[in-house]
Each structure stands twice: as structure tokens, then as C-alpha cells.
Structure 1
């Protein structure tokens, strides 16, 4: 990293295993790995490693007596960590270990051997899962075993669908689209099978609109296309209103959701309620 202003010295941010970064300044642009470790109070020095965190998220080891040039490398951050422990974590169903408390998203992707069209997500109990970027640095020393899942990127406008919802839909064989229109995000379940002999159609597309606070806030109602009538020709109760979305006219099924458990409920819950509403539909 180049010096700033009139200061001829060379700064670098050094993190401990808790990912706490502290600015250090060196007079010489070339420093040894052991100097970086000593600056971070890593003792004994030979039980620690210095690791440059590159802009693309990759890690580069700096040997104890290796001269490392702080100029023009683009590596403004260095991690100092002990090497006498292993840290366990899971990617999908694989149990993996890493010799340092910190790992980058780039390295996680390499370990998982992910195709380019897959994203990596960190499971966070009780909260929306976090999408991992290559440049992210994750602390593996937190309580419990860190868990990551890989999912194909099926969203059309950003990361609007939590990974646990994607996992549910993919694992259960649902075909779906994520559509962004204005401020509304819609999940379209494609060709959902309907109860046999109950309606004028055997299958229909079902639209669920996600509120701004989802998954902490519950979706309300759902929508069908094409319009459904019962086998008798009658329209199901509370299904007479039309709704325009994504260039299509949908039949609104007014089924309000009065119970929702943040951190527990999601599309799994909503799909179950939709199936129940369809099965119990009456004039």
C-alpha cells in the first residue's frame, strides 16, 4: 500500500484471529513475515503465520523470513493466526477443516468446488441466511460449527429469496421464478398440481408476494393463473378479485395469514397453507 500525504511510512491493517483489524505503520516498504507477526503481538512467533488477504479474497501465506513488499500489491490487510489448531465447518453435507480461525469466501468456494452459477450461503439460526462474497472473511472460531450451503442462483433481480427457501423449493422439485416488479418481489410456483378433479384445471401457476420485511413478516394471500373455478363451475369463495402482476392477470385468493413465526416460517409454511386452501376451497 502506498504511503498517504507527506508521511513516507507504509501502513497495513493487521487482524488477529477474531478479525479485529488494527493499523500498523512501517518505515520500510519491505517487511518480513515475522515482523508482521511481532507487530500483532503474536508470540511465540514460530507458532504463528502471517497471511495476506488479497483484494479477490484469496489468502497468500507470508513465510517468517520472507520479505513482503507493501507497495503496489493491493494487499492492505494481513491476518496473523496460530497454526496449532484446526477449525471444523460444513459445506452442504461435507465435513471440512481449516487450520486457521478465519477463511475467505474465495477459499470457501474453492474448497466447495462450486460451478460459476452457484452461490455460497452461511446459515444463521433465527435470521436470514447470508450470501458469501469472495472478498468476505468469515470467523470459524465462533460458538458451534459454521454451516454453509451452495445453491444455484435462480433469482432475476438480486438476492431476494433466502437460501432456506431456495433449499426447500429445489429439494422438493418445485419449478419457480423470482420476479421483481417495482418494490414488489414475487415468487411464482410454476404448474403447481391441483387437487384431482376439484377444479377446471389440473395445474396452475401460483404467485406469492413477499412483503418488505420477509421473512420476519408474513406474506398475505396468494394468486392463481389461470383463473380457477370449481368442477361445478362456481368460483371459490373470496376469489373474485383480479390482480395485475408481471404482465399477467391473476386471480386473488383472499386467505389471510394471522400466525407467523419469524425465524421458523417461510415458503415451506406458505406452500402448505396454499395446498390446504386449494383442497378446502368451496363456493
Structure 2
């Protein structure tokens, strides 16, 4: 059993089906009605234990029960898990501990329409704001600069096995999709690196155009596609600029998944 610090200590009950109030009394909680008992299930889910409700410990193994003084519970999400906490504020350390994140994972606050915020262990998160706070766990690769893009973009690229690199050159943030597969037989190369520059205000603002390296020519005629013959220097490389503009962008919805789809379509539809 533990309080909000999640410092669990063993407690043994003679009764295999103790009441919720017995959990509270076991940790010295008084008056009992000002406390809540919450069972933390093996899959990380939560189950309320009412004060006058029996909770069967038989066949469950070692249970983890949280007992905290509070008058309400606050809901939040980490990835797809619905969690609750009996205090308005929760530390990043405790949130990660509740979610049982591996040491190489970081927790990010999902900010719709803005840049997601990385949560440090010492950060205090206010769960009392309107709505349900949503967090995303991502493999922590901050040394590669991946924290410069929204976690939703990283999650999309990683879940679709897209190799990528994030660069910051002179304040310009860009994503390179590495060895991106090209339409079969369409160009004089089978793969290419794709450069997408993220404008200030992204993801509320749409990226404009994309760039390829090496330069691509249509295999059928040996010439570059239409509106793809200008050069652009970035990251110590010279890129082929594809003038493909986005006139429809939905802030809070569109992101790199949209850009990847646009790139694929532009490559498939490329003509002389």
C-alpha cells in the first residue's frame, strides 16, 4: 500500500475480503470518509474501492492499493490508458511510475494545435484544468533532436517504420525521411531522402514544398519532373526542390502524416 508518493509498503490482512475503510485504517487515515482507496490493477488500470465495499484479495497475488486523502479524483490519459489521481497536481515522476514507463521512455503532454511539452520528473502537472489531459509516451531520443517536432509526428513515423532525422539549421527545423521508397520504375533511383522544412508556427502552419536527394529524373525520358528543377542547400547538402504547395491545412489535425501522403502522391503523379 502507498500514498501519493507511490512508496509501496507491505500490509497483511487477516480478512481475505477487507472493506475499503480497512485499507484506509491500515495506513492510519482519519477521518476515514476523507480518504479514497484505489486498487492499481496488474495491467495498470485503476479500480475504485468504496469504503463499505469488500475487495477480494484471493487469487490476485500481491495487490497494490493507493490510499490518499481527497474529496475528488482527477482523470487523465497516458497513451490509450485511462488513469485517475486523487490530487489536482501530479509530478512527472509519479505519472511515469503510474504508467510503468520503461527508463528509456519519456512522457509528453499532448498540446492540440501546438508543440507538445516534454514532462520532466520534477514537473508538476495541473490536472484540474478543463477537459482531460492527454499524455504520450515516446522512446527518449533527445540527443538526436527529435524533441524538436511534436510527439504525434514522432509516434506516426516510428509506428510506420519510417527512418528519419531531425535537423535544426539556423533556426530552421527540418525532418529528413531517410531512404524513402519511390514508385517502382518511375525514377532513376529506387529510394531517396526527403527533406520537409517545418515553418514557424507548425503544426498550425502548413509546410510548403519538399525536397529530394539525390536529384531525381523520370526513368522513361531521363529528365527531371515538371516544377522540380531548382536546387536548395540545407544541412550541408544540395537538394532538388519540388514546388508542390498545400492550399488546405487543418490545424490540430494535419501533421507529418499529411505531408508524407502528399509526398507519395506527388511522386506518383510526377510528369515532365
Q: TM-score normalised to the size of structure 1?
A: 0.68
| Distance in 1 of aligned mates of 2:127 and 2:198 | 32
Equivalent positions of 1:113-152 (< 5 A) are: 113-152=100-139
| Counterpart pick for 2:195 among 193, 207, 225 | 207
| Distance in 2 of aligned mates of 1:136 and 1:116 | 17
Whether the 8 Å CA contact 2:75–2:82 is kept in 1: the answer is yes
Query: Which residue of structure 1 aligns with residue 206 of structure 2?
Result: 218
Give the CA deviation at 1:146.
2.2
State whether structure 2 residue 135 is matched by structure 1 residue 153: no
Matched position secondary structure for 2:114: coil
Unaligned runs of 5+ in 2: 1-30, 36-67
Give the CA deviation at 1:172.
1.3
Structure 1 residue ranges (4+ consecutive) displaced by more than 6 angstroms after TM superposition: none
Whether the 8 Å CA contact 2:114–2:252 is kept in 1: the answer is yes
Number of residue equivalences: 209
| Distance in 1 of aligned mates of 2:122 and 2:200 | 27
Whether the 8 Å CA contact 1:237–1:282 is kept in 2: the answer is yes
Mean Cα deviation higher: 140-149 or 264-273: 140-149
Change (3 A) 1:181 1:116: farther
Query: Which residue of structure 1 aligns with residue 81 of structure 2?
Result: 94
Unaligned runs of 5+ in 1: 1-43, 49-80
Whether the 8 Å CA contact 2:194–2:211 is kept in 1: the answer is yes
Give the CA deviation at 1:82.
5.0
| Distance in 2 of aligned mates of 1:181 and 1:116 | 30
Matched position secondary structure for 1:239: coil
Describe the superposition over 1:159-185 as per-residue Cα deviations: whole angstroms up to 9, x where unpaired.
310111111111111110001111111
More strand by share: 1
Whether the 8 Å CA contact 1:154–1:178 is kept in 2: the answer is no
Give the CA deviation at 1:89.
2.2
Describe the superposition over 1:116-154 as per-residue Cα deviations: whole angstroms up to 9, x where unpaired.
432211123343322212222112233333221111234
| Counterpart pick for 1:175 among 163, 169, 193 | 163
| Distance in 1 of aligned mates of 2:177 and 2:115 | 21
Describe the superposition over 1:193-241 as per-residue Cα deviations: whole angstroms up to 9, x where unpaired.
1111111111111000111221121111101011111112111011111
| Distance in 2 of aligned mates of 1:90 and 1:158 | 23
Matched position secondary structure for 1:159: helix
Query: Which residue of structure 1 aligns with residue 98 of structure 2?
Result: 111
Query: Which residue of structure 2 aligns with residue 33 of structure 1?
Result: none
Change (3 A) 1:186 1:109: same
| Counterpart pick for 1:162 among 139, 150, 159 | 150
| Distance in 2 of aligned mates of 1:183 and 1:218 | 17
State whether structure 2 residue 259 is matched by structure 1 residue 259: no
| Distance in 1 of aligned mates of 2:114 and 2:236 | 33
State whether structure 2 residue 234 is matched by structure 1 residue 278: no
Whether the 8 Å CA contact 1:224–1:250 is kept in 2: the answer is yes
Q: TM-score normalised to the size of structure 2?
A: 0.70
| Counterpart pick for 2:216 among 228, 250, 254 | 228
Matched position secondary structure for 1:264: coil
